[in-house]
Chains A and B, each alone.
Chain A
């Protein structure tokens, strides 16, 4: 974190020292950098969702554009891609049964967006599509491409809707704030059920609705010591874990009888 703020300060001084550069016909190209205060987030026993702060800076911003607020930043925290099955319930003899299903490959488990302004105010829908930026523009690749486009479309919509309903896909308008002309802070939401794994933070810079640059960083989300050990043991030594679970139950049953015995 300190490294980035020093960097940002340096960039700021540079910009102030050379005001002429901004007016020259060929100014240095604008850029964007982000830094995470930590490269790993631990989920502890008390975890119930969190806000993650990402700091970043603009390189060589045009002071005039910055003053008019025509720079926009969108920060995305994207979870690891995983295959997902979307199922639809239909009525069979009065009972609701999972009938139709569609499998999608490489669906980001989570997708949190933070923006300076509402998405539709920043740029055209087309540029979002080209950048595949925003939950509604993510391309969900069906495992079986021979299914009818209407079906695929229906399940894609349902997939996004379910992800948003469980808080895994979220949008935080106004979650990116400029602290100075080139320093900004983005707050993205981590849902209580945020998946563990390698997450990718990406920042997109727009000037007057035009996409300029992109920068990314990685973030590891993992369970903290104790929870992680349990999860590890359950997967790596599953038989011993089972034996432990059974012994724990027997000991608890026996102790419970000793302590609370009423006969």
Chain B
């Protein structure tokens, strides 16, 4: 069944979009990520203009992270204070990102920049995760007790000034890295249409040493607001949010997410991380191929005078 998207101005298949939403929702429920990093490239592969894919991806992320954050709030695994500081940084980063987005779109380099960011970030995060999880899998197979990182040890981040206490996370740390991290994620959110969970979660765990149980809830909490802000700003400055497209993706996504969460409980942590790493790497490789392989059309048309 075809449906005409009012903002993207093309006709697409409803079932393809619902299935896309459901598949990404399933994976995001399974791995506890927003799924924006999968939705946006998938939409681009499906010929949705990148500018619209990014803005609509951000809109879709709100739905999945909101539903996830609700369950964490109920379980009390959400640090509102830490989330709030991350958010303050996020708003600044997101605003900057929107300007860069509009600027690159005028230059005609937006697609390239989005692809490059995806390849670099997904490649790095996926690679690191794969190495880490394969090591963990090997360790458990050989019967050795998993070697824990010396969590008590402080790194340079903990020597920065302007310290603040975050009770729920049992953390006493400078606000500078927290704000910086928030700003970085906000920037990516507005340029890549992602929530940034796949960077936020490892950064909170490894850089700030936030307890793992608080990390996902807090990251989801801040992602709701960063992507809501991104959606609002894209809607007002670029008019690139397609609610029809977003709604189809969300409808499939929220259903898929709950089944994915259930499936995820059957797998062990390292297995989950290894699978997620493979998935992230696959997306990165697919996008990298497009950068290097001779495109079928060297020429492209865009309406001039946008923005």
Contacts and interface: CB of A to CB of B under 8 A. Distances in A.
Interface of A: 43-49, 82-90, 94-98, 101, 103, 143, 155, 158-159, 161-163, 165, 192-193, 195-196, 223, 226-228, 230-231, 234-235, 238-239, 241-246, 248-250, 252-257, 259-263
Given A195-B9, A250-B63, A257-B70, 11 more contacts: A47-B11, A98-B112, A193-B9, A196-B9, A231-B7, A234-B235, A234-B239, A245-B232, A246-B232, A256-B250, A262-B259
Contacts of B302: 84-85, 87
Contact of A84 (B9, B224, B244, B303): B303
Q: Which 10 A-B pairs have the closest CB atoms?
A: A256-B254, A242-B235, A253-B66, A249-B62, A253-B67, A83-B304, A260-B258, A158-B299, A242-B232, A253-B63
A242 B236 contact: yes
Given A87-B299, A249-B250, A261 B258 contact: yes
A96 B300 contact: no
B4 A46 contact: yes
A127 B62 CA distance: 59
Contacts of A255: 254
B297 A45 contact: no
B235 A256 contact: no
A260 B243 CA distance: 22
Given A48-B2, A193-B9, A246-B231, A103 B304 contact: yes
A239 B109 contact: no
B307 interface: no
A256 B67 CA distance: 7
Nearest to A196: B9
B300 A43 contact: no
A168 B295 CA distance: 21
A143 B112 CA distance: 25
Given A44-B4, A83-B304, A241 B108 contact: no
Contacts of A253: 62-67, 70, 250, 254
Contacts of A248: 243, 246-247, 250
Contacts of B292: 94-96
Interface string B256-287: 01110110000000000000000000000000
A17 B275 CA distance: 84
A243 B250 CA distance: 16
B250 A83 contact: no
Contacts of A263: 71, 261
Main secondary structure of the interface of B (DSSP, over half): helix
B294 interface: yes
Nearest to B294: A96
B301 interface: yes
B298 A89 contact: yes
Contacts of A82: 303-304
B60 interface: yes
B24 to A, nearest CB: 13
B301 A257 contact: no
A89 B67 contact: no
22 contacts: A47-B2, A47-B4, A85-B108, A85-B301, A85-B303, A87-B300, A165-B297, A195-B9, A238-B236, A239-B235, A243-B232, A246-B59, A246-B62, A248-B243, A249-B60, A250-B63, A252-B63, A253-B63, A256-B67, A256-B253, A262-B261, A263-B71
Contacts of B2: 46-48
A6 B54 CA distance: 54
Contact of B305 (A83, A98, A163): A83
B4 A227 contact: yes
Interface centre among B7, B66, B299, by most chain A C-beta atoms within 10 angstroms, is B299
Given A89-B295, A262-B258, A83 B239 contact: no
B62 A231 contact: no
Contacts of A246: 59, 62, 228, 231-232
B4 A162 contact: no
Nearest to B74: A263
B6 interface: yes
B102 interface: no
Given A96-B291, A192-B10, A245-B241, A45 B4 contact: yes
B301 A252 contact: no
A84 B301 contact: yes
B232 A159 contact: no
Interface string B28-69: 000000000000000000000000000000011011111100
A143 B233 CA distance: 31
B171 interface: no
A17 B234 CA distance: 67
A192 B14 CA distance: 16
A109 to B, nearest CB: 8
B4 A89 contact: no
Contacts of A192: 10-11
Contacts of B257: 256, 260
